[in-house]
Amino acid sequence: MIEINPRDASAYLRRGFAYRVQGNGDRAIADFSKAIEINPNDAIAYAYRGSSFNAIGDHDRAIADFSKAIELNPNDADVYNNRGVAYRANNQIDRAIADYSKAIEIKPRNASAYYNRGAAYRAKKEIDRAIADYSQAIDINPRYANAYFNRGSIYETKGANDLAIADFTRVIEINPQDADAYLNRGLAYRAKDGIDQAIADYSKAIDINPRHADAFLNRGIAYQTKGDNDRAIADYTRAIEINPRYGAAYRDRGTAYEAKGNKDQAVADFTKAIEIAPRAELYKNRGNAFQAEGNLDRAIADFDKAIEMNPKDTDSYNNRGAAYKAKGENERAIADFSKALDIDPRLAKAYYNRAAVYQANSEIERAVADYSKAIEIDPLYGNAYFSRGNAFEAKRNHIRAIADFTKAIEISPQNADAFYHRGLAHRANGEIDEAIADYTHAIEINPRHAAAFNSRSKAFEAEGELDRATADHKKAVEIGLP
């Protein structure tokens, strides 16, 4: 037609539209421009060219064309919607919302405009408005998979996991090959502690897209939650193979290696994660790994870096304090535990750790005060009861020591040391039968508890049961009594 009539604007429009469908943006723009040249008052030509500019990322020129189209035809809802998309791409969110709203005013059943306005409200963190708009889009078009997906993502962020699961399930019903819907439903299941259901969904996402690095990462996290570190490591490794710059996969594989006691590989993975994207959390993780292998100076250096990057990181202060304590630098340790408590006065473990240093310094009253504070914050802190019991025992307050060891046992009935130390307190209080019973419990829990055999030996000897005393002493020496 163009060859027959080179001034036929509609022919250029039709050919330009065909080019656009083929993805040939430059040729489409050229034809739409020719149509505009022939007929400068053709709103459709400006609208089509604006869409083509949008498609190639030239949003300023797209906005100009959509504005001209609106000037020529102020009642085209789709043009307002498309200009809103261009404004949104330019991060002019309020202008985008105004255009989507105008599109809805002109065409109240415009599902796309509601969907786009919902996305804009979400970008502004106006979550309830976003949910309302996604819901309206779904009411208009019950098969609007993207609206279900985005609404589900918001529900997941809000912790409304049942609603999120329902929305992602609907996406899957509409499009059974949507790997991301399975991934996100898996995340919602995991948030509800439905680990096996999460694994099933991550696996389905991988079946659909075998190069879905996020699905491998999250399945690895789920396996690690179940204590299956080998499978977790395999999945993290696969995520890294797909995306060698996936810092989170290196980080999480590092934690899995650390859980298996493979500290060198843990350090290597945390180091790689730091190279990709240095963050306080990663320095802290590597510091923990260095600390676990006894490399205290390098651990402290990493905690220093974590604190430099995040001066409010209580864990890094607490962990650095533990490293200083292990080095015998008790004053520095106390300073770090105190700093952690300045930031978070409800950090029970910092009170516990500071108490341990005070106890090592023979500052028993201060130790008892800190253990008590830890218990006040966390009434089920078994180690705090145990350690406070030892502090009371150091003060020869056997009754309170026994009470604390008893509480530690109630919290952790398989704590052999709590039985053993309660036995020592009973023995010091002249309660030999009770002491023997506790030593026996300790031995039942840990048949290689040499100190319990030795103390029971002395208790039997005090009772005149020399054969039993001899047998226990022999067993203690056999196990390796110091």
What is the full DSSP assignment across 143-196?
T-HHHHHHHHHHHHHHT-HHHHHHHHHHHHHH-TT-HHHHHHHHHHHHHTT-HH
**Chain segment 135-179, per-residue pLDDT in tens:** 999 999 999 999 999 999 999 999 999 999 999 999 999 999 999
Per-residue pLDDT band for 4 (boundaries 50, 70, 90) equals low
Maximum alpha-carbon separation in the chain = 123
User: How do residues 99-115 score in pLDDT, each as one tens digit?
Assistant: 999 999 999 999 999 99
The pLDDT value given to residue 372: 98
Q: What whole-number distance in Å separates Cα of residue 190 and Cα of residue 187?
A: 5
Give the pLDDT mean for 182-193: 97
Residue 367: per-residue pLDDT:
98
With tokens 């390098």, the residue in question is: 298
pLDDT band for 325, please (50, 70, 90 cuts). Answer: very high
Predicted local confidence at residue 104, as pLDDT: 98
Q: What is the pLDDT of residue 314?
A: 98
pLDDT band at 420 (very low <50, low <70, confident <90, very high): very high
Q: What is the pLDDT of residue 432?
A: 96
150, 175, 194 from 153: Cα distances, Å: 5, 17, 18
Q: What is the pLDDT of residue 1?
A: 59
Please give the model's pTM, rounded to 2 decimal places: 0.84
The CA dihedral of 384, 386, 389, 394, to the nearest 10 degrees, is -100
- The residues, any chain, with a CB within 8 Å of residue 291's CB and separated by 6 or more, are 299, 319, 322, 323, 326
The pLDDT score that the predictor gives to residue 481 is: 77
Which pLDDT belongs to residue 35? 87
Q: Whole-angstrom Cα distance, residue 191 to residue 164? A: 11
Extract long-range pairs of 457-465: CB within 8 Å, 24+ residues apart: 458/427, 459/423, 459/427, 459/432, 459/435, 460/436, 462/432, 463/432, 463/436
| CA angle centred on 45, ends 40 and 49, rounded to 5° | 115
What pLDDT is attached to residue 239?
98
What's the mean per-residue pLDDT of the chain?
A: 96
Res 459: pLDDT: 96
pLDDT of 5 > 80? The answer is no
pLDDT tens-digit series, residues 299-324 = 999 999 999 999 999 999 999 999 99
List, for residues 448-480, the tens digit of each pLDDT value: 999 999 999 999 999 999 999 999 999 999 998
Q: Cα 261 to the chain's mean position, in Å? A: 22
For the residues 36-44, what does the mean pLDDT come to? 93
Structure tokens at 119: 């996305």
10-19, 35-44, 237-246, 401-410: range with lowest mean pLDDT: 10-19
* Helices 432-445 and 416-428: angle between axes, nearest 10 degrees: 170
Mean pLDDT confidence for 12-24: 88
Number of residues in the chain? 482
**End-to-end CA, the chain:** 102
**Over the stretch 192-245, which tens digit does the pLDDT of each residue have?**
999 999 999 999 999 999 999 999 999 999 999 999 999 999 999 999 999 999
Q: What is the pLDDT of residue 10?
A: 80
Mean pLDDT score, 339-356 = 98
pLDDT tens for 249-287 read 999 999 999 999 999 999 999 999 999 999 999 999 999
Mean pLDDT within 318-340: 98
d(CA 186, CA 219): 9
pLDDT at 20 over 90: no
What gap in Å lies between CA 318 and CA 339, rounded to an integer?
8
Q: Residue 2 above 70 pLDDT?
A: no
Percent of the chain with pLDDT over 90: 93
Percentage of the chain beyond pLDDT 70 is: 98
